[in-house]
Structure 1
Amino acid sequence: MEVENHTEHSGFLLLGLSGDLKLQPLLFGLFLSMYLVTMLGNLLIILVITSDSHLHTPMYFFLSILSFVDICFVSTTIPKMLVNIHTHSRDISYRGCLTQVYFFMIFAGMDNFLLTAMAYDHFVAICHPLHYMVIMNPRLCILLVLISWFIIFWVASIHILLIMRLTFSIVTEIPHFCEVTQIFKVACSDTLINNIYLYVTTALVGVAPVAGILYSYSQIVFSLMKMSSTANKLKAFSTCGSHLCVVFFFYGTAFGVYLSSAVTHSSQSSSIASVMYTVVTPMLNPFIYTLRNKDVKGALERLLSRAASSLCWIVDLRTKWTL
């Protein structure tokens, strides 16, 4: 097999979900719609939280950062996918592929850390309510976000440096989009060091946050069992309900991606699982937090009411000027 060094490698071929030309308009419309819904939904969450003083709390601070990360997450893969579908092209440059890998790891890792921070916030609110404002102060919240960015920045940067050591064949096909595990599979050189580093960072960025979430909710369950008031139990459960749904979708689809790639060799099933992980979950997050959260729904209603009042004022002003 003819092999080129990475410095001479021009790019990769993204196979996509389907090679059938008749399905391309349908796929383009579907992904464009999902992308726009994801962007608008998460931007609306950010706007509602920043514009309403009632939502200036640690939980909604983390939620606004999560919405921003989800916007960046879908923007890492979907625009390139839409361009390829529209132009009937499957090419992606070597640098473009590494860039996609880098930002995919950045934002997927940030999702992990933010969901863990939100679980810790719920744990403090329910298990230590009297000390909540002291523990979850603005300085700690900002520090948690900055530490998360710092860790995932170095994790992703070292991954990219290790990938740049690899060599690939002249024609290299990748099932859906550039992801670190897919890059390792198509590499022609030894990936032992890459895989070792992948396992270590997966424990740091993946397993440790999951363990933190499980610990937080185990303590929450124990606290709920000690509560005598049913109303307090229901209130505490409703507080955690939206976060639990997001955690379920995020980790459920993430495990589905890796289980599907490990159990089956079908690129199509792996691609569908990856779409669920990278597109569907960020799209559903705004709906979950809006539909299940009274505070967000109330803030959204107030925002829409102010927007409607401003619009009516502008219309009345224009009417007076025309008269």
Structure 2
Amino acid sequence: MKLRFSPPSVTTLVQEVPRLVAWRRRIEGAARKGVVFWDESLPLSWLAEIPGSRPLPAGESCKRWHVLEAALTHLAAARLPRTGSVIAVGGGATCDLTAMAASLYRRGVDLILAPTTLLSVIDAGVGGKTAVDLEESGRLLKNFAGSFHPAREVWICPEVLVTLSERERRSGVGELLKMLWISRQRADLEGISAWIREGRIARGFWRQVRQALAAKVRIVERDPLDRKGIRAALNYGHTVGHAMESLAGGKLSHGEAVAWGMWVESALVDRKFAQEVRQALQFLDFADPRSVLAGDRADWEFALEGDKKSDGKKISLKVATGRGLREVRKTPAQIADAARAFL
């Protein structure tokens, strides 16, 4: 006996909403038949006025099991029907946690994402993955558990990104560079630098954001559930980057960690291209991460062993080189040694 099980596919509508007032109107309208979760650090006081909305902790502290439980309890108390929607307003952590809650509540309800950072626009906003972290023995395992739950709609508002701090803008650039490099597109470092310094969204810069989004959509459509190895390219920089986030104890943002993770991972196979990565990061004033990294070789190995691309012995990496993507398999110990040598 065989049971052919094919869950219905989901089409995600990604829309640019140029004006903040229109973006706000959409969120408030969706809240009439849904529940809004928002990043408590956002400078948008009107979110707290939405009936039934709930703030979430800022940053990575949002992605904890007790926060997930509280979110599910809030949805249950709101009596949200299966036909309702869950709306996330915030950065990557807010989107990840809210998406996981939406995937679990009543075995899945519609999700709407309103990302508020460049990083979440490119990373969490498109892709369908959800996640929570696990704390074990005082150490953090990034994205230890999660599900696939694509959003029904994603609302991107450039005017919201103007409110970001310089560090948040730089963090988002880490993911932007990743997408440009794995799709072999040239990064306009001058335009990107202007965005980081001034927060002004020039036409050329936004064109690169659109190119990065289009590249990610092409990859995700070919491998939506991360089963074919195609989507592994999106993890470029993340194996080392996630380990760095854990070892830095919150002193490195996700984008900063991924940026330096790309340098280390490329150096495993192409020192010349890795040097280009390093020069780009230095040009964009990415701070040297060594001062905030704590831990010895065993700590590095522990952080790397939790990587989802590990088969128990080796970790498969797809890294950008001067000749395109290349796959490499290394043990956690080998990656740890390389990271410690470079960092």
If the TM-score is normalised by the length of the shorter chain, which range does it land in?
Answer: under 0.3
* TM-score, with length taken from structure 1: 0.27
Work out which structure has the larger RCO, using CA pairs closer than 8 Å and 6 or more positions apart in sequence.
1
More strand, by proportion: 2
